[in-house]
Structure 1
Amino acid sequence: MVIKKVSIIGLGALGILFGHQLAKKMPRADLRIIADQNRIQRYQQNGVFCNGECCDFNYVTPEEPCEPADLLIMAVKFNGLKDAIQSVQKHVGENTIILSLLNGITSEEIIGEIYGMDKILYSVAQGMDAVKVGNQLTYDHMGMICFGESETGLISERVNVVTEFFEQMEVPYKVDSDMLTRLWGKFMLNVGVNQTVAVFESNYGEVQQEGPARSKMISAMKEVISLSEKAGVQLTEEDLDYWLGVLGTLSPDGKPSMAQDVEAKRISEVELFSGTVVKLGKRFGVPTPINQELYHRIKLIENRYTMIG
């Protein structure tokens, strides 16, 4: 199998970032950006920009007949996943490979329930410092897509197919034979950095240096380590150090998605982060006071602007 046709749903930071890279390397008709008619009209009228370059994307509606994608990239926010799963129906065929770039630890299973886990490769996007304001995306570090099978130690033919494609497209990537640990590790980082930077109304720089914000972030991350032990994943202090190292590579002026949501007065993915941690804590009998605090503080922030709105 060779990947020729690619479909992407979701033009947030990740969709634009990797869509723009693919668009520079692929025939225009072979890269489809799935969106409803209203969004397409807005994208076409206002443009979509990546580091100042206008993205010349090929937009298709969910209803439009098409060949199934060889590779389908899900890049929506978690609260848009249910609708996205319905919208990509015509793009999923017998041999379609699906990569979910969503945050959290549950999207692969949710997508797999509908289209089959045999189509899913576990994946994580990490190391990018993209900031999206309106229709403008800017970044210093593109980061990479880490992917692999759910089964530890397995490097499958599907993994090799995606590897070859990313090589051709010059998309930074890493094949990981222990994707569940990486998935939980990225979740741990998001639980810490997304929520802390949002609550402190700051940026990566604030949590890259010693101080109250960094201490709060690390405490929230350590609660995920405790949960992982109960879930059979076994994150360690070494994993914590690795992800703090990833954080250290990002532009100090950059901000994670939740901080950008709070600035724009949008509902955030707090349910996906501390919401999930608190629920798992209750299930496993693990105390999660830091995440309970972060959840409460972010909900208060959101309530202020939803009441005003």
Structure 2
Amino acid sequence: MKILVMGTGGVGGYFGGLLARAGHEVKFVARGAHLDAINASGLHIESSNKGDFTVQCEATQAPNSSDIPELILFSVKMFQNEDAMDVIEPSVGPNTIILSIQNGIDNGEILSKRFSYENVMIGSAFVEGRIKCPGTVTQGGPGIAAFGEQFIGLSDRANMLNEIFKDAAWDVELHENMEGVLWKKFAYLVASASICSASHSDYGTMRSNPETRTLIIQGISEVLNVGKALGKPIMEDSVQWAENSLDRFPATGKASMAKDFLEGKPVELEGLTGRVVALGSELGVPTPVCSTLYAILKPWAVQNSL
């Protein structure tokens, strides 16, 4: 399969690297020293799940219309969406599948507005991944990808991709209600990543502290209440699923957003906690935990974006 990976960080590099290792024709979009290193000596993946391996592959900064992929793995940060869509636009054919593997709840709609609803599938990753150095990405955490259609149900192309991903050794879940899965992950991520960032704590410390754990669950419930008010297909097990995810995360691990804060990088605060606060205000749904966390973290996020 001809595949383009838009965003060669921890998520795109790991899952795209597995596809390249399995023999698919994978091209990676990267920039600067990361781009140069991949083209010079391949993409190195250090994986807690699959071991360390290197794939020889091509990286580019600007794919073009002469090379139309069958699949685009779209795995950039939410605040990079507009620029990333500009980059891939020449490479999107009428039958190209654009699979968003991102945080947040709006990416499918954003991609569909630029391209078409038929082009887009939605997904998310449960990965603690980073660019370690130019040409090298790391994978920690569960290392699981989840994906599906934007509608409730399955499709032939979803089943086809599921087989391709499994054959490439992805730990992958295909869901009939992927939007519901996105919302429960969104709720978990908004609450836990915001508190992780604000408290400078790892997940083991957060979940073992009764007051902190209670606050995380309260934040999760706020997010799900916003989803219900929007009429989204919130799943009955969402709170329990989120609590289980909190308990499964590596004890010494930290949320990617918390790491980005500490490293002075731009963060996804607006697309996560800020989005909940904005929707809650619009819908009249109280979000006291999320609103407080957003107010605490916003000055830091602004400083990191300068």
Contact 1:34 1:88 in 2 (8 A): no
Which one-letter code corresponds to 2:74 in the other structure? M
Determine if the alignment matches structure 1 residue 123 to structure 2 residue 118.
no
Q: How far 1:62 moved relative to its partner?
A: 1.5
Identity of aligned residues (%): 25
What is the CA–CA distance in structure 2 between the aligned matches of 1:161 and 1:271, rounded to whole Å?
34
What is the CA–CA distance in structure 1 between the aligned matches of 2:91 and 2:265, rounded to whole Å?
29
What is the CA–CA distance in structure 2 between the aligned matches of 1:265 and 1:37, rounded to whole Å?
19
Which one-letter code corresponds to 1:138 in the other structure? T
Equivalent pairs counted in the alignment come to 300
What is the CA–CA distance in structure 2 between the aligned matches of 1:37 and 1:57, rounded to whole Å?
16
In structure 2, relative to structure 1, the CA distance for the partners of 1:230 and 1:44 (3 Å cut) is same
Which one-letter code corresponds to 1:112 in the other structure? S
**Root mean square deviation, CA, Å:** 2.4
Counterparts of 1:197-216 in structure 2, within 5 Å, are 197-216=196-215
Which one-letter code corresponds to 1:125 in the other structure? A
**Residue matched to 1:13:** 10
What is the CA–CA distance in structure 2 between the aligned matches of 1:172 and 1:209, rounded to whole Å?
28
**Residue matched to 1:76:** 76
Deviations 1:172-221 (A, max 9, x none): 11111111111111110111111111111122212332333322222211
* Segment of structure 1 superposing worse, 278-287 or 248-257: 248-257
Q: TM-score, normalization: structure 2? A: 0.89
Contact 2:226 2:279 in 1 (8 A): yes
Which one-letter code corresponds to 1:40 in the other structure? L
Bigger share in strand: 2
Q: Which runs of 5+ in 2 are unaligned?
A: 47-51
Deviations 1:29-81 (A, max 9, x none): x1000234675236557985422655544102315454211110011101111
What is the CA–CA distance in structure 2 between the aligned matches of 1:67 and 1:270, rounded to whole Å?
35
Which one-letter code corresponds to 1:7 in the other structure? L
In structure 2, relative to structure 1, the CA distance for the partners of 1:302 and 1:94 (3 Å cut) is closer
Q: TM-score, normalization: structure 1? A: 0.88
Counterparts of 1:1-309 in structure 2, within 5 Å, are 4-27=1-24, 30-36=25-31, 40-41=35-36, 49-51=44-46, 53-54=53-54, 56-126=56-126, 128-135=127-134, 137-152=137-152, 154-233=153-232, 235=234, 238-303=237-302
What is the CA–CA distance in structure 2 between the aligned matches of 1:234 and 1:5, rounded to whole Å?
33
Contact 2:197 2:257 in 1 (8 A): yes
What is the CA–CA distance in structure 2 between the aligned matches of 1:187 and 1:226, rounded to whole Å?
12
Which one-letter code corresponds to 1:150 in the other structure? Q
